Structure 1
């Protein structure tokens, strides 16, 4: 808890008991300390502690992203690009919130959820939005890049792999983004300013990541960088040889024989019935239909 040492009376005024002192001084000597407790002061301490630790948290998140994505995809550029995309998404989302809730750019709409409250953002709003948006941004990024890597390993170049990945995963990402936008948008119906601010940041971040980052930014960045750099140091698997194709075909054919045998056995059993004898029509014709 912070120690309250505010001077209550100026140097030329009359202090407690006269003489122009302070609440904690008497005739030039310190006689004690006053400690203040309560929710406002606890929030001040929490805000200062959080903001002091925020750079460390951001650097730790960036390092974890690089380690996880680099180990998962085996490339050096994918995690760096993910950090850049998530960073600019956070900057835009928090910056838009400052414009709305601190500068009052949307105050003319007359909506309570978009009106400035207290003249600044509540300290906990960016902290909560940071954690949630990083998780969602990585989720959508991994959806797209997993499909890109799969198409690239099949023999497509970087541009073709991104186009195919958007065709395969783009609809899923858009649907997931719309669902999260509606869920976070419900916070704007609250009468609590901090919930309005968090909901606004999350909605802006989800829209940016789903409809700009994954649809425009990532494809544009990958198209501007050569394939050798996009997927370095990962190596594309060699194309299958004629022997591999022939071996796969023979294995497939051998695997189909038991299935064919079981199918013929099942058909004969259905034809003969449970008794195992041929019906009269087949016995009279010597087994010919």
Structure 2
């Protein structure tokens, strides 16, 4: 963390203006108070709605599936069939060394008790679901489905009640409840704890880092308070969007929004407070200092937030429901952070005055800090050996990118949790006991008029070992097809592909293939398609904003190429750590796309901070090579602090018990740190040293520096 030491040596104070009044007048207090009053009113209106966001947050399978996929349509149609609100469960009994006669009798009694308490789908005249023994005699498997489980709370309560009833078994006997319904209940339990844990953890991390950065007992509270206000406003707005436009708000989306608000909002606060501290030495009134600070860093903050928001909104082009909805949810968070940090934070800082910085108060007329910092040294090395630094850094990033070759395969549904719940343990027991068959059916839906043809086609598909005719209703008939290969294996996925191929040619059948394994296949393929659409859109949006801000083509291209390389390097480090070090059994299919969007959009932030200050110095006539070193020296500490805060907030995601969140948080955190301490400080600075005025080509600064160079050459008689 860069030091926050203030220089105690004072420069002579500027002479006050005639009349004894510094600029600003009565506006210096009325405007800040008016801003605070408006925010108080806004919060009073927003607070009731912010608290309702959790009530409309949804985490059904369809909320995370591709909108146009066959498996998504199957999920919706199955819920509309008679008894469609079912929950499939697996009751698993296991004893190492073999089940005893008492174990088998106990299992029959438990199945009988469940059948007597709940309505089971497909079981008539008091018949009990079939119990299947494993060949080794160590495991019994009973598959059944509960009806009337359309409400998630009812399903979760049923799962927990059954688990309570089967608990406390004889020593050595393991009884577990698994299956899709149990896994959904375990997911709900985890999701319920995520929101509060994430908010508290992120706030603590940000508070600690702000205290270390500012080294003030009070100053850190103000940005943290404003970030909390922004989070409250964002939650209210997202609730409004859900009600008005039926926006899908999932736990993943709201969690990422929270991290974005705390991370990006704190970054904007660090940049603004740093510039405000600078201006307090040159202006007597805090109001005037804040006006100058906003004028100086406002365009960079606006472009930064605009880049992140534009990148996120590009996700609207994705077909995956959860990723598609992440765009507007995340963009709302970023915009709220921007508005709060450029209105409420300045107002509070002005009202509280320069004493807020105690004990390192920036006195009016004091000299700016004059010391050799880490970033001065880093800039010096880049200035002395720009080619070596640039080539060495590029080779390092390229080497790290090779780690993507070691990324684990696709994440299976049972491996989505970092802490193994009972449903996953039950599934693993089943897979070991029945390695040559699937206990989880593939669902096939077809028009009732074509049901006989569809059934024949399904039975004749290679890889299908058993077919059961299910329910009918609304013109549709359901079949359950069991593959010979275990769930989510490549063999079962190939069987699903063959099923879809066989059924496509049946006239009038409109056959659809779904179920959990088909959903995972559709997730994989849809994520691949979404990457082809979203990534070019993000790159185009980022380039347009950078070109508009920097009035150049070369600098934006360099910044964009740098963040893309950073993304590849961060993903490569993930490949080296996820499976060998952290034990993750797979990579979530959405990680490449989501990390690309966040790292490109957020990484460009620091490029904007650095290059905007470089451009500011260049506009004063400083050559770009020298301007880049000045920019690094003056903004390097702020960028480092911002990068550490942002990385730390995303690391909080890695503490959540879901592999998706852990992988997302770690890749983004590593990428932000690489961007902060390697790309921005060394590579971009060394590129500026080499390209000089060509960084601004073909803008006005490129021409102005060229004309200045020609004039200087003429004056020397060259």
Name the TM tier (shorter chain). 0.5 to 0.7
Cα shift at 1:143: 0.6
CA contact (8 A) 1:66 1:80 kept: yes
User: Relative to 1, partners in 2 of residues 1:9 and 1:35: Cα closer, same or farther, differing over 3 Å?
Assistant: closer
User: Relative to 1, partners in 2 of residues 1:30 and 1:151: Cα closer, same or farther, differing over 3 Å?
Assistant: closer
1:71 matched to 2:548? The reply is yes
Once residues 10 and 55 of structure 1 are traced to their aligned partners in structure 2, the CA distance between those partners, rounded to angstroms, is 32
Aligned counterpart in structure 2 of residue 116 of structure 1, from 584, 596, 610: 584
Larger Rg: 1
1:160 matched to 2:637? The reply is no
Aligned counterpart in structure 2 of residue 129 of structure 1, from 595, 604, 607: 595
Once residues 226 and 175 of structure 1 are traced to their aligned partners in structure 2, the CA distance between those partners, rounded to angstroms, is 27
Structure 1 unaligned segments of length 5 or more: list them: 17-21, 107-113, 239-289
CA contact (8 A) 2:562 2:679 kept: yes
Three-state SS of the structure 2 residue aligned to 1:121 is coil
Cα displacement string for residues 81-117 of structure 1 (whole angstroms, at most 9, x for unaligned residues): 1111011011011111122225x2x3xxxxxxx2232
Cα shift at 1:176: 0.8
* Cross-structure match for 1:82: 559
Cα shift at 1:33: 7.7
Once residues 63 and 23 of structure 1 are traced to their aligned partners in structure 2, the CA distance between those partners, rounded to angstroms, is 39
Aligned counterpart in structure 1 of residue 665 of structure 2, from 199, 215, 218: 199
Between 1:59-68 and 1:198-207, the stretch displaced more is 59-68
CA contact (8 A) 2:656 2:662 kept: yes
Cα shift at 1:180: 1.2
Once residues 60 and 7 of structure 1 are traced to their aligned partners in structure 2, the CA distance between those partners, rounded to angstroms, is 44
TM-score by length of 2: 0.28
* Cross-structure match for 1:233: 698
CA contact (8 A) 1:140 1:214 kept: yes
Aligned counterpart in structure 1 of residue 609 of structure 2, from 143, 148, 163: 143
Aligned counterpart in structure 2 of residue 45 of structure 1, from 501, 522, 527: 522
* Cross-structure match for 1:213: 679
Three-state SS of the structure 2 residue aligned to 1:225 is helix
* Cross-structure match for 1:256: none
Cα displacement string for residues 204-225 of structure 1 (whole angstroms, at most 9, x for unaligned residues): 1110111111111100111111
Report how many aligned residue pairs link the two structures.
217
* RMSD over aligned Cα atoms: 3.2
User: Relative to 1, partners in 2 of residues 1:150 and 1:35: Cα closer, same or farther, differing over 3 Å?
Assistant: same
* Cross-structure match for 2:40: none
CA contact (8 A) 2:554 2:695 kept: yes
Structure 2 unaligned segments of length 5 or more: list them: 1-69, 72-442, 445-456, 468-497, 706-718
CA contact (8 A) 2:560 2:600 kept: no
Q: Greater share of strand residues, 1 or 2?
A: 2
Between 1:161-170 and 1:42-51, the stretch displaced more is 42-51
Cα displacement string for residues 211-252 of structure 1 (whole angstroms, at most 9, x for unaligned residues): 11111110011111131x1111222469xxxxxxxxxxxxxx
User: Relative to 1, partners in 2 of residues 1:159 and 1:97: Cα closer, same or farther, differing over 3 Å?
Assistant: same
Higher relative contact order, chain-length normalized (CA < 8 Å, sep 6+): 2
User: Relative to 1, partners in 2 of residues 1:6 and 1:147: Cα closer, same or farther, differing over 3 Å?
Assistant: farther
CA contact (8 A) 1:15 1:23 kept: no
Once residues 33 and 230 of structure 1 are traced to their aligned partners in structure 2, the CA distance between those partners, rounded to angstroms, is 58
1:57 matched to 2:534? The reply is yes
Cα displacement string for residues 154-183 of structure 1 (whole angstroms, at most 9, x for unaligned residues): 111122101110121111111111111211
User: Relative to 1, partners in 2 of residues 1:9 and 1:127: Cα closer, same or farther, differing over 3 Å?
Assistant: closer
CA contact (8 A) 1:85 1:213 kept: yes
1:224 matched to 2:695? The reply is no
CA contact (8 A) 2:535 2:593 kept: no
